[in-house]
Every structure is written in structure tokens, then in C-alpha cells.
A and B are shown apart, each in its own frame.
Chain A
Amino acid sequence: MHVSASPGVWIAALLTLGIFSFLYKDNPVYKFCEHLFVGVSAGYWVVLTYYSSIKPNLIDPLFGVPFAMDRHLLLVIPLVLSLFLFSRFFPRGDWLSRWSIAIILGVYPALRITGFAQGDLVQQIGGSILPFWVPGHPMTSLNNVLLVGGLLATLVFFFFSTEHKGAVGGIARVGVFFLMVSFGASYGYTVMARVSLLIGRVMFLLDTWLGVVRF
């Protein structure tokens, strides 16, 4: 057993145990860790955003040397719009911040419309056009039938403009069965994800901190 001598590792380990103390019950140690985490995260984000996005993409091209009289002058627009965001702190001036939010709300939907339409809608529909009979491959044929049938049944379930009665109701119920299998699969994977995160943390405590085992 080779316990770490690094103060950073000890602080990290004690903070880890402090957060785990919440499992027993909510307590001041956990609250301390929680608030410290929020504060440090926020500080990290500010510094990172400045050096990674604001300085290289705005400050340096606009004010840096050499200063070129070209399209960089247009960067005054995002500079002004960025400053407008902070008008939210002034009750009389907060309407200016809506101009900045407005441009974001114009650009992102446009990007998502094309992205979802091309990547999800067109390609997924194209990928669903499958042969129901593949000679020599009965299992593939069955799988294709199930894939297409399940997809159509799921889409019928989500179609709420018609009441789910009779044939439509029956198909929608089949869609529910496929959805339940999908949710069960998601649950199984979620369990895997959560347990993995705990394993990672235990590895830190056993290896980096206590040196009980080497991973």
C-alpha cells in the first residue's frame, strides 16, 4: 500500500468522500463540497471561455496587431451584441439583450433544421427501405420485416391526429411493445453507465490515493 503524498490527491480524495457522505444523509460537509464545486466550475468556465473563444475569435482579430482594415471591423457587431447581453442586469435596458438572443435564435434553428432533416429524416427513412425477402438469409429477412414493421408501428403510435381505436389502435399497441423494448434497453445501458462512473471513482481512491492496487 503506497498512500499518495501529494496534497492535491489528498484534497481530491477528501472532497470525494465528502460528496459520498451524502449517501448517509445530507450534511454540512456535502453542502460545502457542493458549493465549492459550483464556484470552481463557474470560475473555470469564465477563464476558459475568455481564452478559448472571446480572445482568439474577437479581441485579437479586432484589436490585435497588426490591425487590418478589412472584414475584421465587422467584429464590432458581435462585440456590441455581446455587451448588450449584460443589459439584463439593468431593468430599463434589458430589452437590448433580446437582440443578442434573437440572432442566436435565428442561427441555431436554421442549423438544426438542415442537420435533422438531412441526418435524421432523409437518411433514416432511406435506411428503412429494406427487402422483406433476402434469398438464402431467412433470419435477415425476418429482421428486416421486424425493423420496418416496428418502425411503422412506432410512428402510428405517435400519430395523435387519429383516435387509437380499431386497426389503428392495434398497430399503435404493437408500437408500444417495440417502445417498451427500447426503453428496457435504454434502462440496461443506463445502469451500465451509472455503475461505470462509480467504478472510475473507486479506481481513483484505490490507486491514485491509497495505492492499494495499480490499474
Chain B
Amino acid sequence: MSALKGIRVCDFTGQLAGAAATKWLAAFGAEVIRIEDPTNNGAWDLVRGTPPYVDERRGHDLGGGFNNHNTEKLGITLNLKTARGREILEQIIAKSDLVTENYAAGVLERLGFGYERLKEIRPDIIYVSNCGFGFSGPYRQFKTWGPIVQAVSGLTFMSGLPGREPAGWGFSYMDHTGGQYMAMAILMALFHRKRTGEGQWVDMACCDAALTLNGSALLDYSVNGRTSREAGLPAGNRSVWPAMAPHGIYRTAGEDQWIAIACRDDADWERLAGVIGEEWSGQVRWRTLARRVAAQDVLDALMDGWCAGFDKFALERRLQQAGLAAAAVSDARERIDEDNANDGFDLWPEVEHSAMGKVRVDGLPVRFSRTPQKIRRGGPCLGEHTEKVLGELLGIGAAEVAALRAEGVV
């Protein structure tokens, strides 16, 4: 039986930072009911209708990202500006274990469903909110996107070459990771309620979670008083904690092709020098870590020169056969369609989407020995499951749903 079977989620999450959390729950059998606004076609969730698309069609049911983030969820529409819409929402909340959202702080409360109200409807409700800066603090009204969270928390700063502007992250890392911390919060609150019967609110702020990912740099500051700017960070692709050298991403044959090589210790260097087999690599000066670290500029230039003659995958295999940590810098085609590394995991399952048809999505990088996980149904079209949920969960008949539709409630 699915691990989270029997858990029902009244879900207002969207984008990626929220949707990723309830995607996990749905994959393990929770019933996730996404509530969207019929008056603007669910436009709050920007990725509903944004690229990529499977074909030339466009519209709020055809966003590739939305499908990716909302697999196995049910989707209904409810106009919360109507009394009947609010009443139906109350009935759903009363039958739900969780209310989840990632609006800006206070939006759900302004819709009439703040935590106090949720508790009145269901005393043991678990409410998990996820927003950029959280519900308290001077910036609680500030708004964020993933890249802003990454910038403000120090993560952007820590990515880049010394002396240049930040390279940052080429995607919303903190939307993924914020979604993961939201999922952790949900799961721990569920576990606590399972053991004690007690619900609670978790105020999950993506910026808080992001800041905690800088542990070593923060302790270097708080213990040693050294700021990251003073420490010369970021260090590009070099490894300072722990010290390793050579440690970098080097150009290989072909246009814009690269390989990552990490020489972990002196034994690794001996093996690497053997593979390189050139006059320079045999020099005594490179045999100790301290000397390799001290002369990294020279060493990296030599490594760049040596790697340039190889195909990145051929070199990766050659170094791996020598017991060295190396990996080609892989693009999407190479890692998704041409690499067999993830064969043991259902990593890119194909789902059936009601409008888009069959589409591959991100799966889960985990495998359970006893309980199943499932990502087969695509993200819901707008209001796709309104009849089903209102009928099966609340006993509202088809005729009444039709009337609600005519009145603009659903």
C-alpha cells in the first residue's frame, strides 16, 4: 500500500516552490486537491501556460512546467469571492489533513482562511505556508522568486569565479529546495499528529532554508570573524573545504565541452599523474597537496592543456578506470537520453496528460523496498476534477455542480 494513502491535502500551492512539495505527497499516495481560481484561469500559477510546450498549442492547460510539477494531483476550481465557494472550501478543509500554500504572506488570511479560521473548521489541521521571507520579520511583505531567494541568502554569491560578477544558479534551485523543505515540514507535522493527534502551523520561509545551506561559510564568519568577501570566496571550481587540487572543470575537445575532475588526495594524484604520463605530471613538485594547492594557477593551466585533446566521455571513462573522480559536464540530452547512470530509478517517467498527451517528467531519485511510488497521471487541467471531487468527497450532484458552474462558483 502507498505510504501516504489516506492523507488528504487541500492544496493552494503553485509555481515550483510549493508544487514540488505536494508532488512528493501525491507520488506516495496522498490525495492532493489543488484549488484554483476560475475567474482568471488559475493565472496565479505562472507556469500553467508558459513554455515549454509539446506542440504549437498554447493555453493554461499546456504549460510543460506545470505538468512537471503537478503530477498525480487532482485539480478543482473554486471562486472564493462567492459565499458558496467559501462554503465548499470549508467542507473540503473539514475533510483534509493538511492545508498547504505558497502565496505571499497573508494572502490566504485575506481570503478568509488564515490559520485561526482553519483551526475553527478543523481543530487538528496541519497548515504549512511557504513564502520567501516568512510570516514575520521586517521583510515579511517583500516578494520573491527563486533567484531572489538565492541572491538574498548568499547562495548566488557562492557561485562564481574569483574577481568576476556572481555566476549564480541557472535555474530556481531554491524553488526545488524550498519545495523540499516544505515537504519535510509537512511530513514531520504529519508524523507528530499521527503520534499525538495534534495539528500545527509551520511557517516555512525559502530564504531561511537557503541561509542554512551556507553552514561552513557562516561558521568561518561567526567563529573566525572572516567574511566571505575577505576569504576570497567564491573560489570558482576549486575546493577549499576540503582542500583538493587539481579540482576543476576543464575544457575538452569540441565546442564548449568540459570535464569535472576532483583529485582528492596524494594517492589520487599519483594515479592521475600516471594517466597523464607527461613530463610535467611526473615532477616531484606536484606530489604533495600543499604544493599542488599553492601552485593551482599553473596546475590548472596544465590540466586545461592536457584535457583539451580528449573527448569528455572517453576521458571520463579513462579516469574512472584509474579510480579517479571525474565526470563529463553533461547537458540535458546527454544525461537524460544518453546516460545509463539512472537506469535503476524510474527517473523520467512518462505521464498521461489530458490535453498534452504523453509527456516525460522529473521523477524521484529514491527507491523504496516495500511501498510503491507512482508518477503516471499528468498535472490536472484547470478544473479537471471539479465534478469528481465535489461529487465523491462532498456528495454534490452533477446537476448542482452545473448550477455552480453557471453561477461562476466553479
Q: Is this pair of chains taken from one and the same complex? A: no
Residues of B within 8 A of A (CB): none
Residues of A within 8 A of B (CB): none
